[in-house]
Amino acid sequence: MRHDHLLSAGQLTREDIEAVLDRAADLADDPGAVGERHADRLLALCFFEPSTRTKMSFDTAMKRIGGDTVDMGSVESSSVKKGESLADTVRVIEGYADGIVLRHPSEGAAKLASQFVDVPVINAGDGAGQHPSQTLLDLYTMRERAGLDDLTVGIMGDLKYGRTVHSLASALTNFDARMHFISPESLRLPRGVRFDLHDAGARLREHTDLDEVLEELDVLYVTRIQRERFPDENEYQQVAGEYQIDADTLERARDDLTVMHPLPRVDEIAPDVDATDHAAYFAQAHNGVPVRMALLDGLLGEDAATDGGDAR
Ligand code: NCD
């Protein structure tokens, strides 16, 4: 990739995406193919919000390409607790590591951090903003299961606060995809995201009822209601438990429908879906390792610092 930071899916061209996915497929077949290139490299994991998959798969991926990681630990145990600014924190950490993976509750945090350091910054989720490395593994999974062209994708759940949704929709505009967004009225895509999608030529429709489109879908991407982003718990309670699917719901779907979810799920997908051929969400999570290996290999590669590419 010619970028030196990965901040949002909007910076990725179709060529960038395909290069990462192709490399990921190669590394899934032959994890040793990277050799010793990253043997002396360290990746800093800076998670200011909870994470299981993203953090552990970046950790695993870095180790699998021969490097190692240093972990900031929890906010509770770091100097952030003493009032240190994000800018100062990342300026210190760039002295320890060759790249920074950052998850933060504020939208724009990764972009801000990237302005203070010279090492690559990967946005691993900035509030309700973006989560572009998740998008790469989502696209990898979609490509494996359904192909990325002539694709009809339903994206359902919390479209307002779901950063995985914002990144995925943006990246899908590079492909021949029809997008159906299914949510309660109060959790529709934010206007700015909708505007950018239209601007990028997206073919999209919005629905409040899954039944309107279920039969057409190749992929149904289900998301969790992002409880932690609601300003008011009562507002969350009004939408909690909406938009759940189970094996019965999927009786009306195409046999080859792929059901995805970035996880963690709460109650959006009933456990009886897990045993069906539709379920791809655990494989999707596992794909995080080869995809992040490919991403790190590209961003930390010999040429990353010298080829003049700049996405800042
Ligand atoms: C997602 C996230 O953090 O945005 N999780 C993940 O990285 N797989 C989705 C979520 O928390 O609902």
User: Catalytic residue at 180?
Assistant: no
Same domain, 74 and 141: no
Same domain, 280 and 146: yes
* Annotated catalytic residue within 3, 5, 23, 54: 54
CA–CA distances in Å: residue 263 to residues 48, 62, 91? 18, 21, 31
pLDDT at 303: 47
Q: Within 6 Å (CB) of ligand 1, which residues are found?
A: 53-54, 125, 131, 134, 163-164, 224, 262-263
Same domain, 98 and 138: no
Residue 103 belongs to domain spanning: 5-130+287-300
User: Catalytic residue at 198?
Assistant: no
Same domain, 189 and 274: yes
Report yes or no on 62 lying in a domain.
yes
pLDDT at 308: 37
The answer to whether 135 and 171 have CB atoms below 8 angstroms apart is yes
- Look at the block and give the residue holding tokens 């909708």: 194
Same domain, 33 and 106: yes
Same domain, 115 and 174: no
Q: Which residue has the higher pLDDT, 80 or 147?
A: 147
CA of 302 to the centre of ligand 1 (A): 31
pTM of the model: 0.94
Task: Please report the atom of ligand 1 found closest to the CA of residue 226.
Answer: 12
Same domain, 140 and 280: yes
- CATH, residue 154: 3.40.50.1370
pLDDT at 3: 64
Helix ranges restricted to H, the chain: 14-29, 53-64, 86-93, 109-114, 132-146, 163-172, 191-199, 233-239, 281-286, 288-299
Report yes or no on 188 lying in a domain.
yes
Torsion of CA 211, 215, 220, 226, to 10 degrees: 0
The backbone region for 247, taken as left when phi is positive above 0, alpha when psi lies in -120 to 50, beta otherwise, is alpha
Same domain, 143 and 80: no
Same domain, 82 and 187: no
Same domain, 253 and 182: yes
CA of 262 to the centre of ligand 1 (A): 6
Question: DSSP string covering 212-238, please?
Answer: GTGGG-SEEEE----GGG-S-HHHHHH
Same domain, 161 and 101: no
Report yes or no on 306 lying in a domain.
no
Binding-site residues sit at: 53-54, 82, 103, 131, 134, 163, 224, 263-264
pLDDT-based confidence at residue 35 (cuts at 50, 70, 90): confident
Q: Closest by alpha carbon to 135, among 4, 5, 226, 17? A: 17
What span, in angstroms and rounded, lies between the C-alpha atoms of 16 and 302? 17
Same domain, 107 and 232: no
Atom 12 of ligand 1 has which residue's CA nearest to it? Answer: 224
Q: How many domains does the chain have?
A: 2
